[in-house]
Structure 1
Amino acid sequence: MTEDPPAERSADRSADRSADAPPVDQPADRPGDPESFVAENLDRYASTQGVLPERLESIGETYREQGCLSREQLYDIAYESSTRSAYHVRNNPEERCREVTRNVLTVEGDFSKIQLIAGLRGFKAPTASCVLAALDGDRHAVVDTRVWASLERIGYLDGRKESFDAADYVAMIEPIRALAAETGYRPVTVGYALFAYDAHVREGTLH
């Protein structure tokens, strides 16, 4: 975050500041045109290894029609998120998968929804976010290390993180919804753009 200039800073240096510089309480690297920022990075998303939006949309439609998801349907979501760890999902009892995803429809609060899904094997917060994004992309988004890094890079969060819990999901979804409201895009779409932005600007490997 930018800070107020020290009192002893000379008037000459203060005068050198650009007239269109952001206010001191606004991060200097926050997108000047959020709508263009989202649109530009959405164009990049197809070249990333992110989840397939069409696949999540299809599973979400099934979820809303059935009122729950089977173990195999949850496996499909987890596989989209992480091919390496998706096999853990198959260690969940079938009825528990249906019970949890049925209850997600009625429980209130983002934290509670993520925490409920994360009670299933194979579903840490990032993978659990895929379930919510599939269910309701007007309220939720897929989040992970890249999304957090992008939100940190453009001034919405502080510090980098590599692992996430339900509280971290809440920390991410709030600015994602703010960007969605500002740009007219759905939160799920903003999430994809943030993922692509980090993939575009990050130097070196993800981990």
Structure 2
Amino acid sequence: MCHWKSPRAIRHIRANTPASVRAATRAALATRRERRRLEALMQLDGVSVPMASAVLTLLWPERYGVIDIRVWQVLHALGGVEGNPGGRGFTFAHWSRFLALLRGFSKRLGVSARAVERALFAAHRARQSGTLYAVGNRFRPEAR
């Protein structure tokens, strides 16, 4: 899963011991507080907000989706989130807002949070122009 989400971070992730991975996972599973869940996973080497969100999505796809550049750019272009138009360097505040939106759409549509996130990801891919990480490149709903 880590290799899928962030192949560049894999050498850092491999530096974690099995015991540290178990401890972080146990801590994330043991709390109901979102911040603590995220922070528990981020104690691991190579795990930032997007990777931690991927782990939580793997565990609970009904409640979580993976925060990433594509999904954030769609939400930003549609006015769902403010700030960070490029969709990089996510903080807990970004993730918390993202989760609130996903869960709201999930409830209204009767689908999992993961399904909402995947639909947003697909919308970005269908309308992306240029290179994903290019400076100034943003999702534009009207593109294509």
TM range (shorter): 0.7 to 0.9
User: In 2, distance between residues paired with 1:136 and 1:120?
Assistant: 20
Q: Of residues 54, 57, 74 in structure 2, which corresponds to 1:130? A: 54
User: In 1, distance between residues paired with 2:56 and 2:3?
Assistant: 15
Q: Hey, what does 1:205 align to over in structure 2? A: 131
* Offset of residue 112 of structure 1: 1.6
Q: Hey, what does 1:48 align to over in structure 2? A: none
User: In 1, distance between residues paired with 2:95 and 2:127?
Assistant: 22
* Offset of residue 155 of structure 1: 1.9
Q: Hey, what does 2:2 align to over in structure 1? A: 78
Q: Hey, what does 1:180 align to over in structure 2? A: 106
- TM-score of the superposition, structure 1-length normalised? 0.60
Unpaired stretches in structure 2, ≥5 consecutive residues: 134-144
User: In 2, distance between residues paired with 1:111 and 1:171?
Assistant: 12
Alignment map for 1:39-118 (pairs within 5 Å): 77-118=1-42
> What secondary structure, in the 3-state scheme, does the structure 2 residue paired with 1:141 have?
coil
> What secondary structure, in the 3-state scheme, does the structure 2 residue paired with 1:122 have?
coil
User: In 1, distance between residues paired with 2:11 and 2:119?
Assistant: 28
User: In 2, distance between residues paired with 1:168 and 1:109?
Assistant: 16
Kept in 2: contact 1:111–1:167 (CA 8 A): no
Q: Hey, what does 1:22 align to over in structure 2? A: none
Higher relative contact order (CA 8 A, sep 6+): 1
1:185 partner amino acid? V
Which aligned segments of 4 or more residues in structure 1 are displaced greater than 3 angstroms?
A: none
1:156 aligns with 2:90: no
1:150 partner amino acid? V
Higher-Rg member (1/2): 1
* Percent identity between the two aligned chains: 29
Kept in 2: contact 1:79–1:86 (CA 8 A): yes
* Offset of residue 165 of structure 1: 2.2
User: In 2, distance between residues paired with 1:202 and 1:166?
Assistant: 26
RMSD between aligned alpha carbons?
1.2
Q: Of residues 53, 57, 65 in structure 2, which corresponds to 1:141? A: 65
- TM-score of the superposition, structure 2-length normalised? 0.85
Q: Of residues 94, 112, 121 in structure 2, which corresponds to 1:168? A: 94
Unpaired stretches in structure 1, ≥5 consecutive residues: 1-76
Kept in 2: contact 1:145–1:163 (CA 8 A): no
Cα shift readout 1:137-172 (whole Å, capped 9, x = no counterpart):
111111111111111122211231321122221111
